[in-house]
Amino acid sequence: MRLTPGQRVHFVGIGGAGLSAIARVMLQQGYAISGSDRGSNAQTEALARDGATIYKGHNPAYVLDAEMVIVSSAVATHHIEVLAAQSQGIPVYKRSDMMAALMSGHINIAVAGTHGKSTTTALITHILIEAGQNPSYIVGSSMGNTGTNAAVGSGRIFVIEADEYDNMFHGLQPNIEIITSIEYDHPDFFPTPNAYIDSFSRFIGLLPKEGLLIACADDVTTNIFAENRFIVNLPIMTYGISNPRAAWRAIRLRSSDGGTAFEVVRRGAVLGTINLPLFGRHNVLNALAAIIAADSQGVNFTDTAAALKKFKGLARRFEVRGEMDGVIVIDDYAHNPTKIKATLQAARFRYPDAQIWAVWQPHTYTRTQALLDLYAASFDNADHVIVTEIYAAREQAIEGVNGAEVMKAIQHKDIRFIDSLSSATEFLLKEAKPPAVIVVMSAGDANQISADYLRLKFEAKSEV
């Protein structure tokens, strides 16, 4: 692929987390960007403000003067804009086809894993920005500190969230890789757990001999890859909390003002204390990975600790949306069993005296079907559970797989199925009594529940 600033590039599905970030980077690099999606969102609106041409809906005419077309993983080969591009001889690419060219000339830090990759990518990016290294970056969600999910920096480093779906991360040329976890996911693309693991194996194989792998030793599968790399004497750095053999460890985890405090130990030597404005053991692990990545780029521990104290989080990653009448509302992107469990553990840790209301929108039929037994044991830290209808995303319905059946599979003392988002909001308005925390977990559109709950509460209070 040949990329030259000034080229007109059209994105099909530009509102998605992956494509919107790539479009933003290319826009800042001087490309003429257009894109289409079935609806608008915060990312499309921001891109439009910054000079991209955004179309709501799809039309073959949108691609006709483009020099290349980039499609999201959800776009089918028979999509009308794809067919129009092909009929005109306009090349059509996936994300994996273009990333190496887009990131050429940088030291590339790629963050992969089933869980935690967005937060870890953002943490690394934030530390490097605070250290004055001005990296380029692509993150799967908007950062609180920068207000965006991607940017072009003047520095030598490019930090990217390395998405395994559709084997996007196979198109990268990483110098440093972080693997946070490997746990079977995306059954619509990876037919078996072995296929999923093999994809990560190929990704790790992209590292040059001198490339550094930073691996979570607490995760069983990731640790196996780390040990195999150690055996053949390739650069490896491990981190963990529970695994005593990890090179970097977090110890003495405890609650602090607005977050979690812990000590960092490197090969037996205590480096100092981190005050992380995030909650949950999983986020301590994410921070450890970021600390190691920053250390590899010459950022000293004191500066890293100071930077982490200022981290403002990510959109829809344990994002506190507001509080009304003693009820706190939180949005989170949790959509598989381990993420749900970790999010609810963090909620219980942060709000030990509150009633925890878990509102879960299952994401995709294939994931719901394949992981149903694991979902059943993910809600122990919630006092009340609401399951909505499944968010289909890119899929067709599977007979017998629906929200009502999912609810039946979950063993919980207080669980109910409420099919529509508006009905779930109405139920919460009536039943959530202070002190309470509503945690809306969704990779789809159920964050509308959070917005509507707070709006309706505010309106009712204003009328009094």
Residue 464 has pLDDT above 80, yes or no: no
What amino acid occupies position 359?
A: V
Which pTM value belongs to this model?
0.93
The per-residue pLDDT of the chain, averaged, comes to 95
Average pLDDT over residues 383-405: 93
Question: Is residue 258 over pLDDT 90?
Answer: no
- Name all domains of the chain by residue range, CATH numbers in brackets: 8-95 (3.40.50.720), 103-308 (3.40.1190.10), 319-463 (3.90.190.20)
> Looking at the predicted structure, is the pLDDT value of residue 449 above 70?
yes
In this prediction, what percent of the chain has a pLDDT beyond 70? Answer: 100
pLDDT at 166: 93
Residues 98 and 171 sit within 8 Å (Cβ to Cβ): yes
User: For 100-123, how does the pLDDT look when each residue is reduced to its tens digit (9 = 90+)?
Assistant: 999 999 999 999 999 999 999 999
What confidence category does residue 446 fall into, taking pLDDT thresholds of 50, 70 and 90? very high
Average pLDDT, integer, range 416-434: 97
**Alpha-carbon torsion 78, 81, 87, 93, what sign?**
negative
**What's the pLDDT at 357?**
98
User: What pLDDT score does 1 carry?
Assistant: 75
pLDDT value of position 39: 87
Which pLDDT score, from 0 to 100, does residue 391 have?
94
